[in-house]
Amino acid sequence: MGLSTSFKSEPKNSEQFMSGVFVNECTIVSVEPVYGGKDWQNEKYKDDVGLDITIDIGKSFQPVFYVGGRLKRDEFGEVKDLGTVRRIATFFDAIDVDAKLTDEHKIEEDVLPDCIGTKFNRLSYVSGTKQDGKVRYSDFQEVVSSNTPSITLIETFKKHVNNGWLKNYKPELMDNGSDTNDIPGGW
């Protein structure tokens, strides 16, 4: 079972800006596979497969971008298809790296060094307020290649918001006078 996918989104006529949504180019510094989910995930819905991707965003720090998903299983627990692990397939497509998922549902790690130095576009969106009152941003787990127009990623994000798949987008918080130092990528 390979991780290649044909998921491609064609941009539609749309506004090129959404309040509290920012797209920036990222360069991969390191990639680590994650199996069995992250501590912050609900126990019932932990990802089967994920990646912790340390990225360079042109700042003095290098954040970790997480992408992961759950395999689709039948009522007997047998894996039927990629399910939301398709996000990882989309990530590998975006950076043009040919990765494979083993029969044990692990990413073949010999391709991970090929990821280092590649670029992709990441979308961050306002998702809440920190304890200090500044806006908090979350990363959208869908990505596109660095040469794909930003509107493509924005359209995918809009679809997720409009279909109710993404519930923590809070554009109304942008009216609270956030300053540009809070914006991901320093915009």
Residue 183 has pLDDT above 70, yes or no: no
**pLDDT tens digit sequence for 112-129:** 999 999 999 999 999 988
Give the pTM.
Answer: 0.76
Question: How distant, in Å, are the alpha carbons of 14, 169, 187 from that of 133?
Answer: 32, 17, 19
Give the pLDDT of residue 94. 93
Dist CA 187 CA 23 (whole Å): 10
Residue 42 has pLDDT above 60, yes or no: yes
Residue 168 has pLDDT above 70, yes or no: yes
Residue 176 has pLDDT above 80, yes or no: no
Give the pLDDT of residue 79. 79
| Bigger pLDDT: 174 vs 149 | 149
Of the listed ranges 36-45, 46-55, 108-117, the one predicted with least confidence: 36-45
Domain boundaries, the chain: 21-182
Give the pLDDT of residue 134. 87
Q: Is 76 exposed, middle or buried (0-12, 13-18, 19+ CB in 10 A)?
A: exposed
Mean of per-residue pLDDT scores for the chain = 80
Dist CA 18 CA 13 (whole Å): 14
Question: Which residues, listed in sequence order, are joined to residue 22 by a DSSP beta bridge?
Answer: 124
**pLDDT tens digit sequence for 55-110:** 999 888 999 999 988 878 888 878 787 788 788 889 999 999 988 888 788 888 88
Give the pLDDT of residue 41. 61
